[in-house]
Each structure stands twice: as structure tokens, then as C-alpha cells.
Amino acid sequence: MSPDGLPEAFDVLVHPARGLSGELRAQPSKNYTTRYLLAAALAGGETRVVGIATSEDAGAMLRCLEAWGAGVSLVGEDAVIRGFGASPRAGVTLNPGNAGAVARFLMGVAALTTDTTLITDYPESLGKRPQADLLEALERLGARVSSHGGRLPVTISGPVQGGTVEVSAERSSQYASALIFLGPLLPRGLDLRLTGQIKSHAPLRQTLDTLSAFGVSYSASEDLSRVSIPGGQTYRAGHVAVPGDYPGSAAILAAAALLPGEVRLDNLREHDLQGEREAVAVLREMGADIVREGDTLIVHGGQPLCAVTRDGDGFTDAVQALTAAAALAQGTTTWENVSTLRLKECDRISDTRRELQRLGIGAEETADSLSVTGAARIAGGVTADGHGDHRMIMLLTLLGLKADAPIRITGAHHIRKSYPLFFRHLETLGARFDYLPTDTP
């Protein structure tokens, strides 16, 4: 059994729910946890990261930082990191599992080392995700790089001095974030130019916010197309607290909006930099009754919802949760400018369309959009494919709660990538699940 008390690998049978009510504290942010942990390792002293996420991504970062020579101690809900500064161990093989952002951040920092190799035991997921844009930028800075056609496994060797470099922002903002983490530790610093249409500004701002939290100076243009970081800096050790997680909370908020009852969700800062904070505004626009009291959001559920058309690029990790609301809203909802969803754990446009259609919900796609026509009811009584994707599992779970008959979701244990307590949290609000062990890893 895993720490959450559930089988190591399992499918979940989602039973229809009449309502959801209760109080929850939002889980810690996955995105801030991984950023703070990396920055703590890049500091020379001891940093306490308060209230870390317990997701697989956080575990992957901790595991890799420890392999690189960081001291890692878990004290209650906190992590105490004794950093290696600008000198991670050389000749180390790192396995970030299926954590794409973790892998990319580590690739950037690997230019401080020699012969760091990154591998994955998820060849059909992370192993297929493109890394060439980042690797080419590292090569232009002087790193020696070998890869499997721009994909993992990857070996990177420095040292690099810094300077001016371009990286494409068309596929992902994570390439730029990786270089930003590296920049302060380079003798010549980094003058980073982002090319193409920048995707996901919010995670970039979270990366820069992390630098500020660790005492690193930088300057950036308003549109983030240029970031300048003076060299020879050090990350300052100290004490940082992880905020609540908006991407995962978007699923709880959407579930609460769909079903009758009152749900209170605490630990969500009103002015947080996470782009998925916009999920609150989207749900309100759809007709959800959500009010804020400080860091607490209160949802009075069961209100009729209506369709919206929104540019989803700023809140990509909430699109799947919001799609559950769209599937039961009146009219056709369209998420535009979301092509980066195709480059996640699964193709979150095509695979979502297929799963919705399997459940009798109308859905269409273009190269960079997903449209969903709300259904009056969901029959259920089918098995849906979780596609090994935590956000897909959240979407399907929410639809199961509203279906007429139970829905089985395969590979539901992959929820642990970002939200290990997702099912347990919903159970405290009144949901009911059966956990069906499988032999699939």
C-alpha cells in the first residue's frame, strides 16, 4: 500500500454523488514546491521549505537533488534542504520519473556539472516529450549535449560561462525557466531572449518570483520576451512557505460547482501568481456561485452553468477540470490557444475529445482548441481511460460524480503525480469511490 492508504496501482470506480459539502485546505502548490526545492539546493546553506506538496513531482525533485549531493530532511510537512550551491555532483544519472518540468529544470542546472545524464522509466510519456529547444540553447551557451533525437535519455556537460542566448517559447515556458534557474550562477550571467509566441506567462512569473524569494536579482521586459540576470550571484538560503495549489484546486472547485451543497476551500491566496487562479473567474462567468473570504473560497453548488469561450493558455493546467464544468453547461464551450495541451502526459486535446465522446458528450478539436457541448445528463456505466494523466483522471472523476451510473477510470493511481489526496479530499466532502487494484505499474 502507498502512503495514501491506496493500492500501488489501481482503477477507481466513481459513484454518482447527490451533493458535496464540507471544508478543505488546498494542497500545497506543486509548481512552487518544485521551484523552491531546486532553488534551495542551489543555495549554499540550509533552507526550510514549509508545507511542501507530497506529489510525485515533488518526490522526483527531492530524489534527484539528493543524488546531486543536496542534504534532504523531511520534518513534518516541511523539507529542510542543505544546498550544493553552484556545484552539483558530476557523473550522476538522474531519473525524474514522469515529471516533465522537473526534468527540464534539472537539464538547465546540469550545465554546471559534467556528465549528468537524465533518464526516465516512462518512455511512452516523458520519453516522447520534446527537449530539443532547451538542449540547443544549452549548446549555444557552450554545453556539450547528447540526446536521443532531442528526447530522453540526455547527457549534459558544462562548464558554461553565460552570455546571450535565445530559446523558443512556442512549445513550453519550462525551457526558459530552466535557463533562468541556471543564469545567476554563471560567471557572465544570462541575457535570455524568448522567441515565438510565449506560452504560459504565469509559470515564468512564478520562476522569477522564486528567484526574488531567494535573493537573486534580475530584470525582465513587461512581456517577458527578455530576461537579464547578472552573473556571479548566489541563491540565499533561508525560510520559504509554499502557497496553496490552484491547478488541483480547480478540480475541487469545479466539482463543488456541479453538485449541490456548500464547500469551503482554504489556503488560496487572492493575488497568487499561478495562472490557474483564473479558474475561479471562469467558473463564475459560467454561473457558479463562488465568494471569497480572505484566502478561503466558498462554493454554493448546483447552480445551472452556461458555456464560455476563453483563451486557455494562461490556465492550461485547469483546462481539464473546467472541461468537466463545460460538459454539463448549456451550450458549447471552447478553449482556444491551448496547443501546449498536446505535449503533456497525454494529448489533452485529442484524448479528452475521445473520452468525452465515449461518455456521450459532444466534443470537437482543432490544432489548438477544444470545444465541448454540454449534455443534459451523463449515462455512465462505462470504463474510461485515464491515459496515465493526472489531469485527465480529475476530469473523468468529476464527470463520474454527475453520471447516472458509476464510471470506472483506468490507471487512477497516476493522480499521485500532482494530487495524491484528490480522492481522499473528495471523500471528506461526501463522494464515494471503490479502489480496484490492478497489476499495471
Is residue 416 part of an annotated ligand binding site?
A: no
370 dihedral zone (left: phi>0; alpha: psi -120 to 50; beta): beta
Residue-wise burial string across 103-134, b where 16 or more C-beta atoms lie within 10 A, e elsewhere: bbbbbbbbbbbbebbbbbebeebbeebebebb
Residue 174, marked binder: yes
| Burial environment of residue 270 by CB neighbours within 10 A (0 to 12, 13 to 18, 19 or more) | exposed
| 30 marked among binding-site residues | yes
d(CA 244, CA 251): 14
- Our answer to whether residue 133 is catalytic in this structure is no
**CB contact at 8 A, 258 and 402:** yes
The annotation status of 173 as a binding-site residue, yes or no, is yes
CA distance 367 to 338: 9
Q: Please tell me the distance from the alpha carbon of residue 36 to that of residue 59, in angstroms, as a whole number.
A: 13
Confirm if 172 and 313 have CB atoms less than 8 A apart. Answer: no
Backbone angles phi, psi at 417, to 5 degrees: -55, -40
Q: Which amino acid is at 335?
A: W
Task: Please state, in angstroms and rounded to a whole number, the distance separating the CA atoms of residues 79 and 362.
Answer: 45
To the question of whether residue 200 is assigned a binding role by annotation, the answer is yes
Cis peptide before 123 (omega within 30 of 0): no
Q: Is 129 annotated as a binding residue?
A: yes
Q: Which listed residue (245, 272, 317, 351) is catalytic? A: 317
- Looking up cell 522567441 gives 195
Measured between its terminal Cα atoms, the distance across the chain in Å is: 13
Q: Are 235 and 83 in contact (CB under 8 A)?
A: yes
What's the distance, CA 5 to chain centroid? 23
Inter-residue contact 240 to 49 (CB < 8 Å): yes
Check the annotation: does 100 bind a ligand: yes
Whether residue 402 is annotated as binding a ligand: the answer is no
Q: Is 206 labelled as part of a ligand binding site?
A: no
Ranges of H-type helices in 170-217 = 174-182, 201-213
Report the distance separating Cα 204 and Cα 143, nearest Å: 23
Residue with cell 513587461: 222
The CA distance from 180 to 228, in Å, is 9
Binding site, annotated residues for phosphoenolpyruvate: 30, 100, 129, 174, 348, 391, 417
Catalytically annotated residues: 317
Binding site, annotated residues: 30, 35, 100, 129, 172-174, 200, 317, 344, 348, 391, 417
Binding site, annotated residues for 3-phosphoshikimate: 30, 35, 172-174, 200, 317, 344
